[in-house]
Amino acid sequence: MVYLKELSLNDGQEILDMIREIGPGENGFGNSGWDMKDEEFEWYLRRNIRMAQGIGLEPHLVPETMYWLYVDDRPVGIIKLRPILNQNLRKLGGNIGYCIRPSERGKGYGVLILKEMMKKVKARGMSKVLLTVNEDNIASRKVIESNEGELYDIIDGKCRYWINVY
């Protein structure tokens, strides 16, 4: 069974373990909670819920909702959705960012996580989404292209892909 679960205050140790395994992030995906202590986890969840609601955002930030990809009741990845873009995110970052935990890579979960997110995007009534990726990140480029992503341009080693929502 494969599904996305939105971050909530009910998330537990299995999510914290995944966040720690992913580490600080790579290829443009930021993982701010990778080094948090156990007692900071609830604060991390609350902060991200507030971010999803657009509460208390710094001027350069936009609302962002985090989801966990579960496969057979095990969290294997993180995906973030930003329904609106500011000028900076139009250049780098886009609407969606995702990461699969290292122990689960190479199993096709990147394609699955983006496919599941596109269902959420459609439910929100969005017509298209932007994803950006390093030009040399072939695995992520294939994930995006497998989900009907169309390369728009490459600037300074960063590919910008648009996915139309049908």
Cβ-contact 7, 66 below 8 angstroms: yes
Report the interhelical angle of 109-123 vs 138-146 (nearest 10°).
50
Q: What superfamily would CATH give domain 2-164?
A: Gcn5-related N-acetyltransferase (GNAT) (3.40.630.30)
Task: Tell me the pLDDT tens digit for each residue of 24-71.
Answer: 766 666 678 887 899 999 999 999 999 999 999 999 999 999 999 999
Listed in order, strand segments (DSSP E) in the chain are: 2-6, 65-71, 74-81, 96-100, 128-134, 150-155, 158-164
**Averaged pLDDT for residues 152-164:** 96
Domain ranges of the chain: 2-164
